[in-house]
Every structure is written in C-alpha cells, then in structure tokens.
C-alpha cells in the first residue's frame, strides 16, 4: 500500500569565473565565464537542458498523460529559474506544462539556494519570500511545503518554516536520529506543528547514485526490480520518499545508462502491484496519519555518510568564505542597490562553498563531488578574490551614498 | 620468490646532489624492511670511515645483508651542469669542466664493473637506477641471465629543460630500457615520455611513484625572526638552478607578486649553471632586496628553510617525480607545484599551475600568503596526505615486479 513520493530538486548555481588576485579592482563581473567550459553558466545551462531537463520533462509529461494516478513534486531554486528564462526558455516552458497538469507540486525554498539560515535569519526569510513570489509569478503556484537547501533540517528550521506559513518540511531519514523508526511514515517536527517528510535514502540513492554502478550487487536496476522493493514495504510503511536531484536523469546518470527507460517503465511497474500509489507531498497529509514526533536537535543534511553540513562548512576555507560573506550583510542592504544585493546573494549559493570541500580527497576513496574547478583550492581562490573585489565596489558605493546624503 | 637484488645506483645520502640519492635511500630501506637482500653498487668512492657508519645508518635494526661496492670514479648524476647547455647544442661528448672527455669513459668503466660483480656474486634480480648504471645492468644480465629492471628517475628530455637533448645519453637510456626485462617509471608523466620518445611498449613500463619517510621533527629552531615578526611572508624555491627546474619562471612570478605587495620575500635555495644569470635577472627586475640566494642547502639547514617558509614553489618545466614538495609538507609548509610533474599525480592537497603560466603562478602565490584559511587547509590536509605516500608502497610494487619479471 505505500505511496511513492518523488521530489526532484532542480538547481544550477551562478558559478564564479576564474578570478585572479590581480583582477581585484580591475574586473567587476564575476559570473561571466565564456567558452566551452563548466564555469560558463550559459554553457552548463544549455547542456543540462539538452541532456536532462527537456528530455526528462517530456517523459514525465507522457507518463502523466498515460497514468492518471501518477504525480510528483519539484523544487526549483530561484537562480535556476532565472537562468532558464535567460538561456533555456524551452526548459521553463516544459516545466510549466508539467505543473499545469495539476498533479505536480512545487516546494518552497530559498531563492538563492543558500545556507543563510545558519548565518542570518532575516536574510533567510527574505530569500524564502523572494522565492515564493517567483514561483507564483512563473507557475501560479503557492508552495505549502518547505525544503531547506541541501535538505538541511533541524527543529529550529522547522519552527522557522512554520512561522512563514508552511505546513510541512523535508529532511533526511538519518539513521542515528530515527533509531528503530522507519522513514516510511509521516512524522511531525518537534517544537512546531509542521509535518515532517523524511527521505528514504537507500531507495533514493539506488536511483541517484548506484543506478549505473556495475560493481553494485543489484546492477542492472530495472523498473520491475525497483517496484518490487517498493511493494515489500507494504504493511511497514505508508509512504516512500524518493528525494533526488533532477539532474540524475540524463546528467548524473547519462542516457546511455538506461535511466530514461527506467523512468518510463517505473510508474507502470509500481502501479501494477496491489495497493501502490503515487502522491504529491501535501496529499499525504490528508491520506496518512502522523505517527510520531521526531527530535532533530542539530542540523542534518542529505550529504555524505555523516549526513551533516561538513561538505559546506567543514574546512577553514569554507568557514572563512562564509563568514566574510555574511559580515557584509548590513553594508550590502544599506546600498539599496538591487544589483549589488543580487550579486552578494549569488555568492551565498551553497554550491560555491561545496566546491571548496576537501572531504575525502587524497584518501583514495571515490567520492561524488561535482565541481567545475580543478581543485577546491582553485574554487576558494576565485571566490575570495571576487568577494574582495565586490567589497571594494561596496565600499565605494556606500561612501558615495554617504556623501550624497550628508 | 626473488629475494637477492643486485642494485646499481650512483649516489647515496649524505653524498647526494639531488633527489635520486634520496629516492635510492628510501627505496632500499623499505625493500630491506620487507626482507629483501640488497647489494648496492655505487660508482663513487666514499670515505672508509663513513661507509661503515653509513651501512649501519641505513638499516640499523636489520640483520639482512647489505654489501656495498665502491670503486673510484668521478661520476655524478647531474654531471656537467655548469656547461650542460653547451653540450646540448651539439658539442657531442665534450661536457666541459672536470668531466671533459671523461664522463662516457667513466660510464663504460662502470659498465665493465657490472660484469665483474655479476661473476662474483649471487643474486636473483638486477635493478639499475638511471642511465649511468644501465650499462652495468645490461652486462650483469648477460653474464648471469637474471632479469634486469631499468628504473627511470629522469630522462634526457627532463634534464634538457625543453631546449634539447644529448644524443649519446639518449642512446644509452634507450638501449638500457630496450635490454631491460621491465622498466620502472617514477610517474605516468615519465612513462608517457618513455613510451613516446623512446619507443618502449607501454606494457613493459610499470609506474612506481616515489614515497617519503614521514618524520615529525619538532623544535628545529626558526630563524629570520625579524621578518616573520614584522608579518612578512616567505616563499621558497629549492632545486638545482637549471632550465629543468624552472627558477626563471619563479623569479618572473616573484616580480609580479612584488608589484602588488611589500609583504613577501623569496628564497632561492640551490646551485647550478643558471645561478649568475638568475642573480642578474633579479637585479634587472629591481627585486634584489626581496629575493635571497642561499646556495645549496642540505640536512638541518634545508629543514630550517622549509620550516620558516610560508609557501614552497616547485615550478619545474619537466619533473619526473619531485620529492621536494613532499619534504616541504613533512615540514609543515604548503606547496605550489607545476602540472608538469610526477608528484602532482599523487598529491591532491597542493596548488597546481602550468609552469609557463606566470600570471597564474603569481595569483596562487599571493592568494596562498594573503588568505590564512587557504594556507591552513593546504598545510593541514597536505601533511596528512603525505603520510600515505610511502616508500613501503613503492617497495611492494617493486617486489611484485621482481617476481613477475
């Protein structure tokens, strides 16, 4: 009887171009890399649209037409939507077609896909509201459920989401927090009234990470096999939360791996088995009871074995970059200059510090860090030099404004 | 199991002038630890007093046989440096200096000695390091019929620094690799040169990266206190002052850095045929007050200079491996290395740059010294990483090769 809840994260950052120390004071564009490389945001957007967004959207639209029971959930960062508007209108159009069916839900998140929650609650709220506005504009949809960047979750984040009017929130099904409990039920956050949806990371990662791994004992993964695993939950769960990056389809797992065929066949295989269904997340609140309240006293995420924030704030460079960035908040807001504020916020996108992660490097283990930079050190150097240039610009503007005012 | 190795080397610490001696020391020590018996033949006569100490010094706690044969010779691995570039431009065997008309004679004499030793000793395998000893290796193989392994630490294409090669040396290298049963390259970078320029089949070449012995040595006295107390930073170059090591690129980057900040000083440690031209270049660029030449340093003096530095730079034009960045990390100083190096294949916690890209080199130098968090990450992670780059690993690979040759 489990209901499958797919949630796909759609996001692309504004990658900072190669920015030298010697460019400080001489160059004021940070996100404008050119040429056929992965720092060129247009190039990446067009590539991902071609390989992933457009073909996957087509498959999903066909599936929605074919299976009236099929439904799922998206979350879009504001910055990916902007880039689609600019570089791939076709992607945006096809996403709209999906949402227009009424069987696709959209989640709330921060516009800039940031970790602002950790540094400034006020900034965090502004970005959530900006995002809400953008979703209403583009999709005429009001998000009811919230997901924090990188599936970051804690009791405190849930409280904040509740204050902003959300009815539910997403988190990682962290074993150490769940203990004997299964992620396959609806829960409630501790200290607030919001419902809590926890990711079934085993089944999610079977698709997102293990799908094309030949050394995996279940390789190759067929829709039939996967559907049989879902059916096994029958009786021991109400919902199966399959949360993953949308780029899994066609970008992380290339078309050649058979990922599209898998997706095409999956709804049929799931629905063929007795009592299975699909749900958008907010439907679950009506369909299923809340089983328990779960306490997340510290912040968890969907990354790595640790399921914590160490991939973003784990080393000195990352913490240095973020603290230097957020200490500019008052000065940035004081400019009332929308370009300056927008630029500062683009630096906040979590990918910027993720690229600086040194976790697992050099210990011989395989890890899945996607980065357009050669090394985390290169990522830090471009970030911090660009930020220092930004600081000069900021100082000049505020000095000028001060002079005008007095 | 092949256990007895007849090894032909050419220099050994403390009587070494470069990385080859260090590599030979590290590898033989690790091989002995793994129960291999090594007869190391060296061409250069060491003083009798020191040679006893020296044997004890290599394998203090080990009971395995290490014999050392020396015969008087003038060989040195980096021979003729002072006039190397002149030899490159077609002076044939005229290497000038004290080796004039002598170097190839010495090589043939060493090769002859290979016959003598092969008749006299019993062994399972022959392992020879670089071109000077390849002739001895070939002869020892002919006499004994035992497999011969040619270990390539550097090729003529590296030593030439991109300017040209000595044809005779090239021929000796090529023949050595052809006659060898297997070839060891110190990196994929070097393997690629061996396959491309020497026509050796890729299947025959095994990559065995060098290692380093991690010894934490605290309490080495820091000097240059005044500079450090004034918040000044020190950027270090260690290596022979030859085209191959790229000291000229280092100086040109230094100039760019000096234009942007007054807080950095540069140390150039090493000697070689480019020394005077580099000193002149530094003066011409107007940075004589910011660049110090220390001459060739070893032992404690070298460790001190690693420790006082804030960044070590290896801008090599063509570096088969490059042990100095690992030494620097052991001493707690982060590194910037050229992509044209073997060590960049095994070291991930390093800043990397193409040797010719002096703008990027300057960017990375200045970023590393201006941003403490960057230096700290490079230093902390690099020190941990270096612990896993061991001679034990290299020795294991060699032993596997001995048994499959």
Kindly report, residue by residue over A98-122, the tens digit of the pLDDT.
999 999 999 999 999 999 999 999 9
Residue, of B49 and B228, whose pLDDT is higher: B228
Question: Measured between CB atoms, which of A22, A317, A319 is closest to B374?
Answer: A317
Helices and strands counted in chain B (H then E): 16, 13
Best CA proximity match to B73, nearest among B128, B5, B136: B136
Q: Which of A316, A322, A357 is best to mutate for the B interface (most B CBs within 10 A)? A: A316
Q: Residue B75 — very low, low, confident or very high, per pLDDT cuts 50/70/90?
A: very low
Residue, of B358 and B227, whose pLDDT is higher: B358
Q: Which residues of B touch A320 (CB under 8 A)?
A: 371-373
CA distance B375 to A373: 18
A150 catalytically annotated: yes
Contact status, residue A171 vs residue A198, Cβ threshold 8 Å: yes
Q: B351 to chain A: nearest residue by CA?
A: A377
Q: Which residues of A touch B366 (CB under 8 A)?
A: 21-22
Q: How far apart are the first and last CA of chain B?
A: 11
Q: Tell me, letter by letter, the H, E, C secondary structure of chain A.
A: CCEEEEEEEECCCCCCCCCCHHHCCCCCCCCCCCCCCCCCHHHHHHHHHHHHHHHHHHHHHHHHHHCCCCCEEEEECHHHHHHHHHHCHHHHHHHHHHHHCCCEEECECCCCCECHHHHCHHHHHHHHHHHHHHHHHHHCCCCCEECCHHHCECHHHHHHHHHCCCCEEEEECCHHHHCCCCCCCEEEECCCCCEEEEECHHHHHHHHCCCCCCCCCCCCCCHHHHHHHHHHCCCCCCEEEEEEEHHHECCCECHHHCHHHHHHHHHHHHHHCCCCEECCHHHHHHHCCEEEEECCCCCECCCCCCCCCHHHHCCHHHHHHHHHHHCCHHHHHHHCCHHHHHHHHHHHEHHHHHCCCCCCCCCCCCCCCCCCCCCHHHHHHHHHHHHHHHHHHHHHHHHHHHHHHC
A196 forms beta bridges with: A169, A187
A108 forms beta bridges with: A146
How many CA atoms are closer than 13 Å to the CA of A204, on its beta-carbon side? 23
pLDDT tens for residues B327-380? 999 999 999 999 999 999 999 999 999 999 999 999 999 999 999 999 999 999
Peptide bond into A220 cis (omega under 30): yes
Would you call A358 and B349 a contact, using CB atoms and an 8 Å cutoff? Answer: yes
Q: Tell me, letter by letter, the H, E, C secondary structure of B99-158.
A: HCCCHHHHHHHHHHHHHHHHHHCCCCEEEEECHHHHHHHHHHHHHHCCCEEEEECCCHHH
Q: Which of B209, B371, B386, B388 is best to mutate for the A interface (most A CBs within 10 A)? A: B371
Give the tokens for residue A147: 């997901």
Angle at A346 between CA A344 and CA A348, to 5 degrees: 80
Predicted confidence at residue A369, as pLDDT, reads 59
Question: Measured between CB atoms, which of A317, A361, A375 is closest to B352?
Answer: A375
CA distance A256 to A114: 33
Give the tokens for residue A224: 């039939």
Distance from CA of B183 to the nearest CA of A (A): 25
Would you call A358 and B359 a contact, using CB atoms and an 8 Å cutoff? Answer: no
pLDDT tens for residues B284-341? 999 999 999 999 998 888 999 999 999 999 999 999 999 999 999 999 999 999 999 9
Q: Which residues of A touch B352 (CB under 8 A)?
A: 374-375
Q: Which residues of B touch A316 (CB under 8 A)?
A: 372-373, 376-377, 380
Distance from CA of A313 to the nearest CA of B (A): 13
Neighbours of A365 (CB within 10 A): 8
> Does the pLDDT of residue B84 top 70, yes or no?
no
Mean pLDDT, chain B, whole residue set: 84
Q: Which residues of A touch B343 (CB under 8 A)?
A: none
> Does the pLDDT of residue B117 top 90, yes or no?
no
DSSP at B205: E
Predicted confidence at residue B371, as pLDDT, reads 97
A102: alpha, beta or left, given left = phi > 0 and alpha = psi -120 to 50? Answer: left
Contact status, residue B190 vs residue B159, Cβ threshold 8 Å: no
B313 forms beta bridges with: B336
The mean per-residue pLDDT over the stretch B124-147 comes to 94
Task: Name residue, tokens 């960049």.
Answer: B344
- Angle in degrees, 0-180, between the axes of helices B19-33 and B48-58, rounded to the nearest 10: 50
Mention every residue, 6+ apart, whose C-beta is less than 8 A from residue B281.
B248, B251
Q: Residue B79 — very low, low, confident or very high, per pLDDT cuts 50/70/90?
A: very low
Best CA proximity match to A337, nearest among A28, A18, A26, A17: A28
Contact status, residue B270 vs residue B301, Cβ threshold 8 Å: no
Q: Which of A17, A18, A20, A21 is best to mutate for the B interface (most B CBs within 10 A)? A: A21
Q: Which residues of B touch A (CB under 8 A)?
A: 256, 260, 347-352, 359-360, 362-364, 366-367, 370-374, 376-378, 380-381, 384-385, 388
Predicted confidence at residue B85, as pLDDT, reads 32
Predicted confidence at residue B80, as pLDDT, reads 43
Q: A380 to chain B: nearest residue by CA?
A: B374
Contact status, residue A323 vs residue A348, Cβ threshold 8 Å: no
How many CA atoms are closer than 13 Å to the CA of B159, on its beta-carbon side? 26
Distance from CA of A48 to the nearest CA of B (A): 28
Give the tokens for residue A4: 């499958």
Question: Measured between CB atoms, which of A321, A361, A381 is closest to B364?
Answer: A381
Would you call B349 and A362 a contact, using CB atoms and an 8 Å cutoff? Answer: yes
Best CA proximity match to A164, nearest among A151, A149, A148: A148
Q: Which residues of B touch A374 (CB under 8 A)?
A: 352
Would you call A377 and B371 a contact, using CB atoms and an 8 Å cutoff? Answer: no
Strand order through the sheet with A145-146: A145-146, A168-172, A195-199, A186-189, A290-294
CA distance A226 to A236: 17
Q: B382 to chain A: nearest residue by CA?
A: A362
Predicted confidence at residue B22, as pLDDT, reads 84
Q: Residue B90 — very low, low, confident or very high, per pLDDT cuts 50/70/90?
A: very low
Q: A381 to chain B: nearest residue by CA?
A: B367
Assembly ipTM: 0.91
> Does the pLDDT of residue B96 top 60, yes or no?
no
Contact status, residue A305 vs residue A366, Cβ threshold 8 Å: no
* Burial group, residue B57, by CB count within 10 angstroms (0-12, 13-18, 19+): middle
**Strands A72-76 and A277-278, bridge-based pairing:** unpaired
Give the tokens for residue A335: 């400019």
Question: Measured between CB atoms, which of A362, A381, A385 is closest to B348?
Answer: A362
Chain A / chain B CB contacts < 8 angstroms: 72
DSSP at B233: E
Q: B368 to chain A: nearest residue by CA?
A: A381
Tell me the three state secondary structure of residue B354.
coil
> Does the pLDDT of residue B1 top 70, yes or no?
yes
Q: In chain A, which stretches have pLDDT less than 70? A: 1, 362-369
Q: Which residues of A touch B351 (CB under 8 A)?
A: 375, 377
A244 forms beta bridges with: A8
DSSP at B221: P
Mention every residue, 6+ apart, whose C-beta is less than 8 A from residue B106.
B43, B73, B74, B75, B99
The enclosing H or E element of B214 equals none
Q: Which of A33, A105, A109, A150 is catalytic?
A: A150
B5 forms beta bridges with: B38, B125
Give the tokens for residue A261: 């065929």
Best CA proximity match to A248, nearest among A266, A237, A263: A263
Q: Which residues of A touch B360 (CB under 8 A)?
A: 20
Percent of chain B scored above 70 by pLDDT? 82
């Amino acid at each position: 009887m489990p209901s499958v809840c797919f949630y796909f994260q759609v996001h692309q950052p504004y990658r900072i171009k190669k920015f030298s120390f010697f460019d400080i004071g001489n160059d004021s564009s940070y996100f404008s890399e050119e040429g056929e490389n992965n720092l060129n945001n247009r190039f990446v957007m067009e590539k991902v649209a071609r390989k992933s967004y457009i073909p996957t959207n087509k498959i999903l639209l066909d599936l929605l037409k074919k299976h009236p029971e099929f439904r799922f959930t998206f979350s879009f960062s504001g910055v990916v939507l902007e880039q689609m508007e600019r570089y791939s209108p076709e992607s945006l159009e096809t996403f709209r077609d999906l949402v227009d069916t009424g069987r696709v839900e959209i989640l709330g998140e921060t516009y800039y896909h940031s970790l602002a929650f950790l540094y400034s609650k006020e900034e965090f709220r502004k970005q959530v509201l900006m995002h809400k506005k953008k979703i209403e504009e583009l999709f005429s949809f009001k998000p009811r459920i919230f997901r924090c960047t990188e599936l970051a979750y804690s009791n405190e984040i849930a409280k904040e989401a509740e204050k902003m009017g959300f009815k539910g929130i997403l988190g990682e099904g962290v074993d150490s927090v769940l203990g004997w409990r299964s992620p396959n039920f609806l829960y409630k956050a501790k200290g607030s009234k919001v419902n809590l949806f926890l990711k079934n990371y085993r089944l999610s990662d079977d698709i997102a990470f293990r799908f094309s791994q030949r050394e995996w004992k279940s390789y190759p993964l067929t829709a039939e096999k996967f559907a049989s695993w879902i059916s096994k939950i029958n009786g021991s769960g109400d919902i199966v939360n399959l949360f993953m990056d949308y780029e899994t389809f066609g970008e992380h797992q290339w078309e050649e791996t058979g990922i599209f065929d898998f997706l095409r066949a999956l709804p049929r295989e799931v629905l063929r088995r007795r009592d299975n269904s699909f749900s958008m997340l907010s439907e679950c609140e009506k369909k299923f009871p809340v089983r328990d309240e779960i306490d997340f006293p510290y912040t968890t995420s969907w990354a790595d074995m640790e399921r914590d924030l160490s991939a973003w704030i784990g080393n000195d460079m990352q913490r240095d970059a973020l603290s230097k960035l957020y200490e500019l908040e008052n000065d940035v807001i004081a400019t009332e200059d929308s370009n300056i504020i927008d630029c500062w916020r683009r630096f906040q996108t979590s990918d910027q510090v993720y690229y600086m992660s040194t976790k697992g490097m050099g210990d011989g283990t395989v890890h899945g860090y996607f980065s357009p930079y050669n090394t985390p050190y290169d990522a830090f150097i471009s970030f911090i030099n660009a930020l220092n240039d930004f600081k000069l610009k900021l100082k000049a503007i505020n000095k000028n404004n001060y002079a005008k005012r007095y | 199991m092949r256990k007895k190795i007849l090894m032909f080397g050419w220099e050994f610490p403390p009587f070494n002038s470069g990385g080859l001696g260090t590599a030979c020391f590290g590898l033989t020590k690790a091989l002995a630890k793994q129960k291999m018996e090594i007869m190391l033949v060296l061409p250069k006569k060491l003083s009798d007093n020191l040679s006893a100490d020296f044997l004890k010094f290599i394998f203090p706690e080990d009971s395995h046989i290490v014999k050392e044969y020396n015969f008087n010779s003038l060989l040195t691995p980096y021979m003729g440096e002072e006039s190397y570039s002149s030899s490159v431009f077609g002076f044939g065997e005229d290497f000038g200096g004290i080796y004039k008309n002598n170097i190839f004679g010495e090589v043939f004499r060493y090769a002859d000695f290979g016959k003598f030793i092969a008749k006299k000793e019993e062994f399972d395998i022959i392992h020879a390091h670089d071109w000077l000893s390849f002739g001895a290796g070939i002869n020892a193989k002919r006499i004994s019929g035992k497999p011969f392994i040619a270990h390539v630490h550097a090729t003529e294409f590296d030593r030439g620094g991109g300017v040209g090669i000595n044809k005779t040396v090239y021929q000796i290298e090529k023949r050595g690799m052809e006659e060898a049963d297997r070839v060891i390259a110190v990196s994929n970078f070097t393997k690629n040169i061996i396959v491309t320029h020497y026509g050796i089949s890729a299947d025959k070449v095994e990559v065995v990266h060098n290692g380093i012995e991690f010894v934490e040595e605290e309490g080495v006295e820091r000097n240059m206190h005044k500079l450090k107390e004034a918040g000044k930073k020190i950027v270090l170059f260690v290596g022979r002052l030859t085209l191959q090591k790229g000291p000229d690129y280092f100086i040109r980057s230094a100039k760019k850095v000096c234009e942007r900040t007054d807080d950095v000083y540069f140390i150039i440690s090493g000697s070689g045929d480019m020394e005077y031209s580099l000193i002149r270049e530094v003066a011409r660029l107007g940075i004589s007050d910011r660049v110090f030449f220390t001459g060739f340093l070893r032992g404690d003096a070298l460790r001190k200079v690693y420790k006082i530095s804030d960044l070590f730079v290896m801008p090599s034009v063509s570096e088969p491996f490059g042990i100095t960045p690992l030494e620097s990390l052991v001493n707690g100083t982060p590194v910037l290395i050229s992509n044209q190096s073997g060590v960049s294949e095994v070291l991930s916690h390093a800043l990397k740059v193409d040797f010719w890209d002096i703008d990027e080199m300057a960017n990375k130098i200045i970023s590393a010294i201006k941003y403490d968090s960057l230096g700290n990450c490079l230093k902390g992670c690099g020190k941990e990483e270096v612990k896993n780059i061991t001679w034990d690993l290299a020795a294991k690979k060699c032993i596997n090769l001995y048994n499959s040759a």
